[in-house]
Homo-oligomer: A and B are copies of this chain.
Amino acid sequence: MKIVRNPFAWLLLFVLLLPAWPAQAEGLQAKRALAQPALVQIGVIDALLAGGYEGSVPVRQLPGLGDIGLGTFDALDGEMVVLDGVVYQVPASGLVRRADPGVTTPFAQVARFRPGPALALPEGLGLKALEAWLDKALGDTSLFCAARVDGVFATLKARSVPRQSKPYRPLAEVAKEQSVFEFSQQRGTLVGLRGPDYVRGLGVPGWHWHFLTQDRRRGGHVLDLTLGSGAARLATLRRLELLLPEGGLGGLDLARDRQGELKAVESAR
């Protein structure tokens, strides 16, 4: 047969079968474990709280790591929302733009979103009630979770933070100068990530929400809300990938427990 005699056919077969090479089987099995969907995190929250606003990873790399997520930008230049693979920037003006791909981020969390079926939410839920409802739907809150809530928000209060210049002050101080945006009867999307309790210091324990209006032109970090109607989609993640800046986080005070500061910054009204 012509094919069997063709050396290129054999070479092609060899190249195609290479990944199944028996000696690689253990490594592949291990790699499969690492191929679980992950929450990919750039930087650590304690460094951000300490004023580590220097970006390390260009925003253009984020869509390669996940299509949903939250974060901020170099020099704390606004809130980041990653939705449907697009990186949006909500600066202190509140006027949302697509982030410049060359801008870097000191802190971002993204995931490849493979949610379960949409869950219709009860109407009228406040922020805490919404979070409790989602926790109950999750059942187990010992893993990470990415969530998306599309709906109409009877009320919603969001904020963003103004771009900083050096020397950088701690986030708890800067957050006092936040801009607050109020929405009512607003159609839009919440992007949420949930960290388990044990990520204290490294990530954000509990839920953390950013918002975009349906036209993707307004939004921010969510301080409060009352749900009109909406549906949630949840994806549990049992893997975390943490990437730290090449130069380390040197010069920042990382020894202190900053859980109180985090709470203040997350919910300051």
Contacts and interface: CB of A to CB of B under 8 A. Distances in A.
Interface of A: 6, 8-9, 11-12, 15-16, 26-31, 33-34, 36, 40, 44-47, 57, 60-65, 139-140, 142-144, 196-202, 238-250, 252, 254-255, 257
B254 A142 contact: yes
A139 B245 CA distance: 15
A7 to B, nearest CB: 8
A196 B15 contact: no
Contacts of A201: 197-202
24 contacts: A8-B9, A8-B11, A26-B63, A28-B64, A30-B61, A30-B63, A30-B64, A33-B243, A36-B243, A46-B198, A47-B142, A140-B247, A140-B250, A142-B244, A142-B248, A143-B248, A196-B249, A197-B254, A198-B201, A199-B201, A201-B201, A238-B243, A240-B240, A240-B244
Given A139-B250, A140-B249, A143-B244, 17 more contacts: A8-B12, A12-B12, A15-B16, A28-B64, A29-B64, A30-B64, A31-B64, A33-B65, A34-B65, A140-B248, A142-B244, A142-B248, A142-B252, A197-B254, A202-B202, A239-B242, A239-B244
Given A8-B8, A15-B16, A34-B65, A142 B239 contact: no
A17 to B, nearest CB: 11
Most chain B CB neighbours (cut-off 10 Å) among A238, A252, A257: A238
Contact of A197 (B9, B11, B12, B255): B255
Contact of A30 (B65, B200, B247): B65
A102 to B, nearest CB: 13
Contacts of A34: 40, 65, 241, 243
Contacts of A238: 243-246, 248
A248 B28 CA distance: 23
Nearest to A38: B241
Given A16-B15, A242-B242, A198 B47 contact: yes
Question: 8 closest pairs, A vs B, by CB?
Answer: A30-B64, A8-B8, A142-B249, A198-B201, A140-B248, A240-B242, A238-B244, A27-B64
